[in-house]
Amino acid sequence: MVLRFTPAKYRASVCVGLLLPGIVSALLIAHWATVHAQSPEQLSVYSPQTTYSVTLLDIQGKQYAGLIELLEPLGTVEGRVDGKKYKLNFTPPGGRAVEAQFTQGKDKGKVLGENYKLGGNFAEQNGRGYVPLAAAPEILGKMLGKPVQLHASARRLFVGDVSIRYSVSVDRSNPARLTITFPIAVSPSIANEPGRVRLTFRREPVVSNGQDSLTFNNPTITGATFSEHDGVAELDIATTAGLMTNFVDGGKTIVLSEPPPPPSPAAPAPAQTQAPPAPAPTPKAPSGPRFLVILDPAHGGPETGAVITPTLLEKDLVLAMAHRLQRDLASRGIVSTLLRNSDAAITLDQRAMATNAARPALYITLHAANTGTGVHLFTSMLPAADVQRNGFLPWDTAQAAFLDLSGSVAGSVAAELETRKLPNSTLVAPLRPMNNIAAPAIAVEIAPPDDKVEHIARPEYVEQVAQSIAAGVAAVRSKLPEVRP
């Protein structure tokens, strides 16, 4: 048996949290608020290869960006100090080396022998070179050989033709429905707030479609506003009613719709002097068993989870991953639903009760960590119990009756991770709400694939993990019991 009380977030939010939930929650929120307030500003960089963040420095009242930090995710880069000169060599994958040279305290530089005005003095600190943020697009464009565009006020940098534009339409249907279409799949975080639904794009280079503010001739969905700030893009949908959000077309389309109204009660039949004999009722055929997977993105609301990077919280990363996993399961004919489809706070007991009420074939909770490497799979530490799964199960140890099936799922997912050469480990831990789940259950914690924590959110890495989980579930589907709703 292997025991690991992994990352600090589990120790705080699960083990200690069982004893002092109010105090622990307050401490976690206060700690995150302090870290967030002291965190330096970040520049979001979007490129064809990846999306990443770069920390900006404040030097004499101007924002500066590190050249190595900007170029390192895009190729091989080396910087060295030579007297007062700072020399930079960059080689893109499969390309030729490019050289640049700058002088400490001077506002000029050279790239490929061509002089550039920096708009501020070059700065060197600890062997790394920094240029004013406003000069970064021109320098990167020359070194990369492609256009680079900076949205300075929003701190967003676009390398090449990566911008994603969208279209919006509102159907004149009842109930009201708004459709947002993108050229590629997206995974925004979704928050339902009074009077609006807010879609936040942290990893995708979504930009304005040319109309930042739209007004709809609809009493329920009244308008949409696009904005970008602090390294993210947001689309706010103004509404007078609560809206449901669904992803279709492989994540390329987001549909927001008003829940359908309840059916009207049937009108009473007119009185008859002599009622004809009633026909014998036809028994309704019972609905057949179905295979349902519950996906539970951890945390939400003020419970942020781990601070993966200064601009990426665990609650947002696992929600985006849940949407990807839902699409990958659907591609294999497996129906799944999310316990949390927005930035909402749900207690551990509420998660367990909602899951058990749905009678799923499988429960998967998703976590993320900024420590460790690869994917960590967990099953419950409870001792196995030889009890009837369809009978009465104690609340605190309900999972004990399903440990054999939970282990089969974890092993199948681990095999798929190995196939994709993703580092992984399978462990046991005393996790809630998993102990309270009356169905096969696993926890999946995604950590960075290598020693760079920001790589945890690389789309190709998250997609590989989601595909591994979906394939692992599909491989053992026949072993998991289908249940009647």
So where are the chain's domains?
57-154, 167-257, 292-479
Looking at residue 431, its pLDDT comes to 80
DSSP state letters, 424-478: EEEEEE--TTGGG-SS-EEEEEE--SSS-GGGGG-HHHHHHHHHHHHHHHHHTGG
57-154 shares its CATH topology with 167-257: no
Mean pLDDT across the chain: 83
Per CATH, is 167-257 categorized as 1.10.3210.10? no
**Does residue 17 carry a pLDDT above 90?**
no
Query: Which pTM value belongs to this model?
Result: 0.52
The CA-to-CA distance between both ends of the chain, in Å, stands at 35
pLDDT-derived band at 385 (thresholds 50, 70, 90) equals: low
Residue with the two structure tokens 């492609």: 146
Looking at residue 371, its pLDDT comes to 86
**Does residue 35 carry a pLDDT above 50?**
no
Residue with the two structure tokens 């949205």: 151
Residue with the two structure tokens 């659907």: 330
| CA 50/CA 71 separation, integer angstroms | 12
**Does residue 177 carry a pLDDT above 60?**
yes
**Does residue 195 carry a pLDDT above 70?**
yes
In terms of pLDDT, which residue wins out, 260 or 239? 239
CATH of domain 57-154: 3.30.457.10
In terms of pLDDT, which residue wins out, 149 or 34? 149
Range in 108-112, 213-217, 230-234, 271-275 with the lowest mean pLDDT: 271-275
Looking at residue 190, its pLDDT comes to 78
Looking at residue 391, its pLDDT comes to 56
Per CATH, is 292-479 categorized as 3.40.50.20? no
Looking at residue 458, its pLDDT comes to 92
Looking at residue 390, its pLDDT comes to 59
| CA 242/CA 222 separation, integer angstroms | 13
**Does residue 104 carry a pLDDT above 80?**
yes
SS3 content of the chain, % helix, strand, coil (to 5): 30, 35, 40
